[in-house]
Structure 1
Amino acid sequence: MLDLQGIENIKDEESHSINPENPCGEKGKAATTDSDLGKSRKGRAAVSLKEGETFTIAEIKGPGTIKHIWMTIAEATPKGSFVLRDVVLRIYWDDEENPSIESPIGDFFCNGFGSRCEINSLPIVVNPTGGMNCYFPMPFNKKAKITVTNEHPNKIDGFFYNIDYVLQPELPENVSYFHAKWNRQKTTQLQNDYTIIDNIKGVGHYVGTFLEVTALERYWWGEGEFKFFIDGDSEYPSITSTGTEDYFGGAWAFHKKDKSGRIYVQPYNTPFMGYPFFSKEDHTRDDFQTEDAMPLHGFGDDALPMHGLYRWHLPDPIRFKSDLKVTLQQIGNDDIGLFERSDDVASVAYWYQKEPHQIFSPLLPRKNRIPR
């Protein structure tokens, strides 16, 4: 868990940072780029991403640990919205050919639906406006490689990033590697639980969930239980929640009542769990528009309700010794009783495990990632 315990201790570590002005994180080579302000005056604060380009942000020889990642990017261009869904973040450990982290960049930082929102949690923080931070420690032995792929139908100017890491003489013997995987089922099937993550094989612990629900039906959507199938569980899991809002630390559908009796939804941000995003309507954007341009990010106030939630298992990691599967029921309540629902659900699963990991299923193509 991230805290101040031990911060006073001296450690045999070298501090480094990678950004566009020091792309290799070299000692004594930061802030070397020039601008019209003069020598070493912020000459390359960002990079551009060509359409279809995979850009390698960092390639670091270990042993070491990534301590902090900061990124920001425009959420729209003149050719469309949903940049946060169109740009894909991938991270590779040591010499692996398949990523251990694979997610649309916004979703990894708990900014789903291609939309910004502020996140005030312990490992993920998103500050105004779109400053995306990750504090999950990410150790690596031989090498760390971080890439972003621009699948947006336009060049993206102004991709900013900073990777803060330390180099170490060696890693602890019991260290595990950080993993994250995005998934989406555009229309869930009745009585067929949505899969957060499946086919995790090895030794490790599950540390978090980011959930995105686009409601396709009326009424309350959050009666489904999270299920954790651990180390050989088959028909029934070892761990479950009592409901969706319960898993995220809330209760009674997140509803509150004001003095006039009006019921409203109460979003929240806390260190370990939150409901930071609720959009009952989508509003037409007017940035990047010209006189003959169609509205971006929706064509009016007609979007379906969208809900974004996070839960971090940092004080309470879910341990597994051989395998893990995590699912979510799609069950609602129509004010009369429970009923089986079908919704549009997406998620990011976060966990640590010993390598090697099972190869991920292919990431959905861009058109199948676009929010409703």
Structure 2
Amino acid sequence: MRNELGGYPLYAVPPGVETRWASPENPGAAKSGGGTSNGGRKGAPCFPLAPGECKVLAEQASGSGTIRRIWSTLSDRSPEMLRALRLDFYWDGCDVPAVSAPFGDFFGIAGGRTAAFESDLFSSPEGRSFNCFVPMPYRRGMKMTVTNGGDKALNMFFYDIDFTVGDAHGDNVLYFHAHFGHQPATALRQDYEILPRVSGTGRFLGANVGVKADRERYFDVWWGEGEFKLYVDGDDAWPTLCGTGTEDYIGTAWELGTYHHRFQGCTFADHERMEFCFYRYHVPDPVYFHRDIRVTAQQMGTASPEQRERFRQAGTVLLCAGPDERYFDYEDEAKARQWENFERSDDWRSCAYFYLNRPEHG
């Protein structure tokens, strides 16, 4: 019996299933084809990637299989390079990728700043490598590529893609997808879309999110009062699944610090620069959908009486959180002694992960 993450029991060898590794030492993952460079003495551990260049990391022209693990490291791990490199994964010969995301965002580093962390699906043991353990099944072949979309060459790209071939996938086995999004300045009262509406049957795995709060406008005031909302199976104006706040959704409380657990965490929380990167993965608490799904997050802050006075002195106009278009009334003495939520505009970026019953979701 397969386990929840698509593997096999440790004590069984499935019939007809073989193991393959794709790496610079054997990019085709060919049988008896590994380590042939330099007479077998480590001749091709990595490759350079010029601006505009695209490299195939792994490919299987036909037949079934499952991606089991992806590991990589780069000679340049700057935020600029992590955003310039793009990963694209294709299943079953499709021309449209099921995964298309910046390298860093895909591996859970939404803010571009590396940090040591470990979760159930992704990890970076010492902040210098990038690991993914999400199983990615396919039925009629696959292709995985990396493209340098920046204007700077990368000297060394190292990687391993570990997969099995010959897996027998039943009708209920789904395809892995990822959606990347970025909004440098979110619109007031328009929730940021973690995952735009996707039609089909599947499972939402979760997301990693990076927030760069507008410190110039909002100082160091907490930005995460907004709720995460999951609209499933025909939900329109109102979601079936609704959280109570950003830090609540990722399993902590009362704003956000640094931690990393199996299914939830915050890889960095820089309160001085007001930059944050966090994740939530729905592994023990599955989110299934049978018709469609859409996932959003509100951009909402809260102001204490002291912070409210600071905004008043700065002449900041703040839109109150609520159904009506009301603004902070700085002359109301009763309000001046209360906490109050307000709408914000900040820089949000995210990579959402999900399974779907078809190899492309566009």
TM-score range for the pair, normalised by the shorter chain length: 0.7 to 0.9
Which residue of 2 is the match for residue 6 of structure 1?
A: 9
TM superposition outliers: structure 1 runs of 4+ over 6 Å: none
Cα distance in structure 2, aligned partners of 1:251 and 1:3: 32
Structure 1 residue 130: Cα displacement: 2.0
Which residue of 1 is the match for residue 93 of structure 2?
A: 95
Q: Secondary structure at 1:252's aligned position in 2? A: coil
Structure 1 residue 95: Cα displacement: 1.3
What amino acid does structure 1 have at the position aligned with 2:279? Y
Deviations 1:87-115 (A, max 9, x none): 01110101111110011000111112222
Answer yes or no: is the 8 Å Cα contact 2:117–2:127 preserved in 1: no
Which residue of 2 is the match for residue 15 of structure 1?
A: 19
Q: Which residues of 2 match residues 122-141 of structure 1 at below 5 A?
A: 122-141=120-139
Structure 1 residue 23: Cα displacement: 0.8
What amino acid does structure 1 have at the position aligned with 2:63? G
Deviations 1:276-316 (A, max 9, x none): 112345xxxxxxxxxxxxxxxxxxxxxx4110001010111
Q: Secondary structure at 1:157's aligned position in 2? A: strand
Q: Secondary structure at 2:147's aligned position in 1? A: strand
Answer yes or no: is the 8 Å Cα contact 2:110–2:351 preserved in 1: no
What amino acid does structure 2 have at the position aligned with 1:15? T
Q: Secondary structure at 1:84's aligned position in 2? A: helix
Of the three residues 209, 214, 218, the one matched with 2:212 is 214
Which residue of 2 is the match for residue 293 of structure 1?
A: none
Structure 1 residue 3: Cα displacement: 9.6
Cα distance in structure 2, aligned partners of 1:271 and 1:24: 33
Structure 1 residue 153: Cα displacement: 1.0
Which residue of 2 is the match for residue 184 of structure 1?
A: 182
- The answer to whether structure 1 residue 308 and structure 2 residue 277 are counterparts is yes
Q: Secondary structure at 2:83's aligned position in 1? A: helix
Answer yes or no: is the 8 Å Cα contact 1:199–1:358 preserved in 2: no
Cα distance in structure 2, aligned partners of 1:356 and 1:2: 18
Deviations 1:7-37 (A, max 9, x none): 2122121011000011111122211111xxx
Cα distance in structure 2, aligned partners of 1:232 and 1:109: 31
Q: What 5-or-longer segments of structure 2 have no aligned partner?
A: 305-338
Structure 1 residue 119: Cα displacement: 2.2
Cα distance in structure 1, aligned partners of 2:10 and 2:178: 27
What amino acid does structure 2 have at the position aligned with 1:137? P
CA-atom RMSD in angstroms: 1.6
What amino acid does structure 2 have at the position aligned with 1:84? L
Which residue of 2 is the match for residue 66 of structure 1?
A: 67
Q: What 5-or-longer segments of structure 1 have no aligned partner?
A: 255-265, 282-303, 360-372
Cα distance in structure 1, aligned partners of 2:41 and 2:294: 50
Which residue of 2 is the match for residue 342 of structure 1?
A: 345
Cα distance in structure 1, aligned partners of 2:357 and 2:101: 20
What amino acid does structure 2 have at the position aligned with 1:278? A
Cα distance in structure 1, aligned partners of 2:164 and 2:8: 18
Which residue of 1 is the match for residue 294 of structure 2?
A: 325
Residue 213 to residue 55, structure 1, CA distance change in 2 (3 Å):
same
Answer yes or no: is the 8 Å Cα contact 2:300–2:343 preserved in 1: yes
Structure number with the higher helix fraction is 2
Cα distance in structure 2, aligned partners of 1:130 and 1:186: 27
Q: Secondary structure at 1:253's aligned position in 2? A: coil
Residue 76 to residue 109, structure 1, CA distance change in 2 (3 Å):
closer
Q: Secondary structure at 1:307's aligned position in 2? A: strand
Q: Secondary structure at 1:213's aligned position in 2? A: strand
Structure 1 residue 351: Cα displacement: 0.2
Q: Secondary structure at 1:319's aligned position in 2? A: strand
Q: Secondary structure at 2:40's aligned position in 1? A: coil
What amino acid does structure 1 have at the position aligned with 2:281? W
Q: Secondary structure at 2:251's aligned position in 1? A: coil
Q: Secondary structure at 2:105's aligned position in 1? A: helix
Which residue of 2 is the match for residue 235 of structure 1?
A: 237
Answer yes or no: is the 8 Å Cα contact 1:117–1:277 preserved in 2: yes
Cα distance in structure 1, aligned partners of 2:7 and 2:28: 29
Cα distance in structure 2, aligned partners of 1:3 and 1:62: 18
What amino acid does structure 1 have at the position aligned with 2:265? G
Q: Which residues of 2 match residues 37-76 of structure 1 at below 5 A?
A: 39-60=39-60, 61-75=62-76
Deviations 1:152-188 (A, max 9, x none): 2121110011010001253122100000011011101
Which residue of 1 is the match for residue 28 of structure 2?
A: 24
Of 14-23 and 163-172, the range deviating more from structure 2: 163-172
Cα distance in structure 1, aligned partners of 2:210 and 2:158: 26
Structure 1 residue 197: Cα displacement: 0.9
Answer yes or no: is the 8 Å Cα contact 1:224–1:330 preserved in 2: yes
Answer yes or no: is the 8 Å Cα contact 1:89–1:149 preserved in 2: yes
Q: Which residues of 2 match residues 189-204 of structure 1 at below 5 A?
A: 189-204=187-202
Residue 237 to residue 67, structure 1, CA distance change in 2 (3 Å):
same
- The answer to whether structure 1 residue 352 and structure 2 residue 355 are counterparts is yes
